[in-house]
């Protein structure tokens, strides 16, 4: 296979952050989450969530 | 044989969120004339115009904080590709109103379906992606490579190309190498390498 590529921790963290907006309603762009939409987290492993809904 | 790739919004219910991000990027590419080299910021500007029908250039400048010449280039591109309509103001001929239209509006709508039709959420999504890059003009192609690599965990160059967008091999190679230079992808040698 030769050279392989994997995402950095920052990449995973940011994509996870971006993914929080998918399917969410009323997301605050300033960084808060005001709906408690219960976004599933398990499919964006392996990074733990660093943003929690209010 | 490359892994099965989700191509359609009809698959959004069965895709995980990382895969959904890939589908969203696909719709944004379609909204921008099928050009994966389009900057993420251009997609954000199109989405903003879609959110604010009949908006003006000065209003866009206020919302984005971009300089006039940079914004002008993006507006010209969107107009030339048939993504937006421009209509002179009846009150002031110097003012041009802009609205999204045609295939751009349709495909942007497919992307918005993933965000409960919320332009604000799409804006947040794109802003988060843009902020990840150190490059000042990250493209939809760049973002798709990152999403594909994250979805697969670890992938060969060819596997990433299979999941990315068609185009000149040199373009894809250059984009991938630039992602490594930015520290967004880590290149490793496997035991056979």
Tell me, yes or no, if B175 comes closer than 8 A to chain A by beta carbon. Answer: no
Q: What is the largest CA-CA distance in chain B?
A: 69
**Mean per-residue pLDDT for B164-183?**
94
Closest-CA residue of B relative to A22 is B115
Who among A5, A22, A25 is closest to B149 (CB)?
A: A5
Query: Does CATH place domain B13-181 in 1.10.10.10?
Result: yes
pLDDT at B167: 85
Q: Write out pLDDT tens, residues B156-171.
A: 999 999 999 988 999 9
Q: Give the C-alpha separation, B131 to A14, whole Å.
A: 9
Q: Pairing mode, if any, of strands B155-156 and A3-7?
A: antiparallel
Successive 10-residue mean pLDDT values, chain A, 54 residues: 88 93 63 35 41 41
Q: Write out pLDDT tens, residues B23-44.
A: 999 999 999 999 999 999 999 9
The alpha carbon torsion through B30, B33, B37, B38 (nearest 10 deg) reads -90
- Asked if A11 and B118 come within 8 Å (Cβ–Cβ), the reply is no
- Tell me which residues of chain A have a C-beta less than 8 Å from any C-beta of chain B: 1-8, 10-12, 14-15, 17-19, 21-27, 29, 39-40, 43-44
Q: Could you tell me how many CB contacts below 8 A there are between chain A and chain B?
A: 126
Contacts 24+ apart (CB under 8 A), B87-92: B87/B54, B89/B56
| ipTM field | 0.83
Q: Which of residues 141-170 of B touch A (CB under 8 A)?
A: 146-147, 149-150, 153-157, 160
């Amino acid at each position: 296979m030769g050279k392989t590529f994997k995402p950095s921790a920052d990449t995973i963290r940011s994509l996870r952050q971006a993914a929080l907006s998918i399917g969410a309603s009323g997301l605050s762009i300033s960084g808060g989450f005001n709906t408690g939409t219960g976004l599933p987290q398990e499919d964006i492993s392996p990074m733990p969530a660093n943003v929690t809904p209010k | 044989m490359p892994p099965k790739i989700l191509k359609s919004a009809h698959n959004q219910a069965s895709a995980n969120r990382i895969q959904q991000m890939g589908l969203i990027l696909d719709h944004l590419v379609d909204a921008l004339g099928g050009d994966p080299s389009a900057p993420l910021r251009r997609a954000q500007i199109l989405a903003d115009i879609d959110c604010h029908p009949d908006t003006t250039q000065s209003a866009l400048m206020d919302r984005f904080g971009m300089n006039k010449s940079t914004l002008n280039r993006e507006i010209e591109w969107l107009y030339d590709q048939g993504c937006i309509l421009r209509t002179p103001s009846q009150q002031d001929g110097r003012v041009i109103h802009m609205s999204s239209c045609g295939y751009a509006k349709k495909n942007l709508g497919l992307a918005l379906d993933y965000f409960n039709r919320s332009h604000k959420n799409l804006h947040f999504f794109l802003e988060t992606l843009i902020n990840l890059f150190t490059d000042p003009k990250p493209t939809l192609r760049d973002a798709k490579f990152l999403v594909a690599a994250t979805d697969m965990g670890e992938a060969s160059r060819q596997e990433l190309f299979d999941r990315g967008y068609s185009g000149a091999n040199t373009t894809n190679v250059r984009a991938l190498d630039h992602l490594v230079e930015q520290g967004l992808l880590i290149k490793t040698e496997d035991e056979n390498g």
